[in-house]
Structure 1
Amino acid sequence: MPNERPETAPSQGAEDPCRVAVQRDGPFLVDGPVEVTLEDGSTVRSDRFRVALCTCRRSRRYPWCDASHRRRVRE
């Protein structure tokens, strides 16, 4: 039938989708564990249950958020 959803292939698993919370003027909160591929092709991983990903690029621990966005001066 054309409206049927395809079955999940065994190699893909039937896990719940990854949950991402978007915050205004803050990081993306991602339910972990998380593996992030950076621009240079390197990969970093966190096994924490929730990870804050930096969206302002001010973090000294990029791609992990260190709350540097709080020091930003607003116009």
Structure 2
Amino acid sequence: MPSKPDRPCRVVLTDDGPLLVPGPVEVTLADGTVAVSTRFVVAVCMCRRSAIYPWCDTSHRRRTASCPGTHEEGGAS
């Protein structure tokens, strides 16, 4: 059993971006597979557009708003 940390893990929610988690981490996907990252800070994809899901590849940046409340695929920002 892992030891109890001295303080809680800090998770950072970003506007229109990934979930930032201090690493290393293991992420269990819906199908039961486990993805592992040993990075110091891990960016977990929240938009599911990433080609390397569950990790963020900044695919969320390719969204552009055509009108309030809607998003379309567009050029890189």
User: Shift in Å at residue 14 of structure 1?
Assistant: 2.8
Which residue in the other structure is 1:14 paired with? 4
What amino acid is the match of 2:52? Answer: R
- Matched residue of 2:46: which SS? coil
Aligned match for 1:40, one of 31, 43, 49: 31
Aligned pairs for 1:46-61 within 5 A:
46-61=37-52
C-alpha RMSD of matched pairs (Å): 1.2
TM (normalized to structure 2)?
Answer: 0.78
Larger Rg: 1
| Percent of paired sites with the same residue | 58
TM (normalized to structure 1)?
Answer: 0.80
User: Shift in Å at residue 12 of structure 1?
Assistant: 4.8
Is 1:71 paired with 2:62? yes
CA distance in 2, matches of 1:52, 1:40: 20
Unaligned runs of 5+ in 1: 1-10
CA distance in 2, matches of 1:41, 1:14: 25
CA distance in 2, matches of 1:51, 1:14: 21
CA distance in 2, matches of 1:12, 1:59: 31
